[in-house]
Amino acid sequence: MRTSLNVVLPDAPEALWRGTPRLHDLAYAYLKGLLLGGGLDPGDQISSEAVGRVLSISRAPVTDAIRRLTVEGLLEILPQVGCRVVRPVPAEVKDLYEIFGATEGVIARLAAERRSAADAAHFERRCAALASPDGLPDGPAARFMELRQRNRRRYELLHDLARSRPSIGIAESFWDQSDFLIRVAFGHRDLPPFVKAGHAAFVAAVVAGDGATAERETRSYLVRLGRHVAELLERRLHPDSS
């Protein structure tokens, strides 16, 4: 492990090296893994030199990865220092989920309107498997990661049904920011029951071919989640006011 300004950076998991990834993709995956899964928290400062030492690569690919994560809203540049993990602002978190809910709501409507009967049956089966507790790890951290990956898969399936593959590039930024905010707000605790209910509602609407309901249910639960996340973050910022 190497110390980087005010944090200790862990060694990279061996899985990151599989397939001989390009160095800037390696650095990006390493940092994003720490941001979404744990290891880098709001306000933590890191330097490209320290990340390069951990990965045994030059500064250039690390700098490129930092720029990408800055554009995605997870890091911010500190001139003459390096970069810092963003500190979420509760009011901005609500705005993010309003936009997230609107865009995913449109995708859910398109999916409901465009899916075939065979698509609907496949989607229903896959989403039922993703919602099942079967195969979930017992440990909170591993369980959180598994649930995050399952949720990503659910939305990828939704975008596939919408016949809107280009939208995934746009959506991934929202998914990453949401995963980061959820980790910061909840730690590794399970999400509130209304999230699971929201998933079930929009999946049922898509299967039924009800575009209006699919859009409404998707938008509704994401906006509600954003408000809940913002409230938890506000309590962290001002613990004495709660």
Residue 154: Cβ-neighbour burial (10 angstroms; 0-12, 13-18, 19+): middle
Tell me the average pLDDT of the chain: 91
Strands (E), the chain: 2-4, 7-9, 45-46, 75-78, 82-85
Domain endpoint, select from 55, 85, 115: 85
Q: State the total domains in the chain.
A: 2
CA 25 to chain centroid, in Å, comes to 18
Structure tokens at 168: 């995934």
pLDDT tens digits, 28-44: 999 999 999 889 999 99
Are 76 and 100 members of one domain? no
Q: Which helix (H) or strand (E) holds 7?
A: strand 7-9
Question: Are residue 53 and residue 150 in the same domain, yes or no?
Answer: no
- Domain end position, chosen among 41, 63, 85: 85
- Mean local confidence (pLDDT), 159-171: 85
* pLDDT confidence of residue 1: 40
| Domain of residue 30, residue span | 2-85
pTM of the model: 0.91
Regarding whether 98 and 50 lie in a shared domain, the answer is: no
Are 205 and 156 within one domain? yes
Are 14 and 80 in a shared domain?
yes
The CA distance from 185 to 175, in Å, is: 15
Answer with the one of 26, 50, 85 that is the final residue of a domain: 85
Q: Are both 107 and 204 inside the same structural domain? A: yes
Mean pLDDT of the 154-158 span: 94
User: Both 73 and 96 in a single domain?
Assistant: no
Structure token pair of residue 38: 């744990």
Number of residues in the chain? 242
CA dist 46 and 211 (Å) reads: 45
Q: Are residues 124 and 236 in the same domain?
A: yes
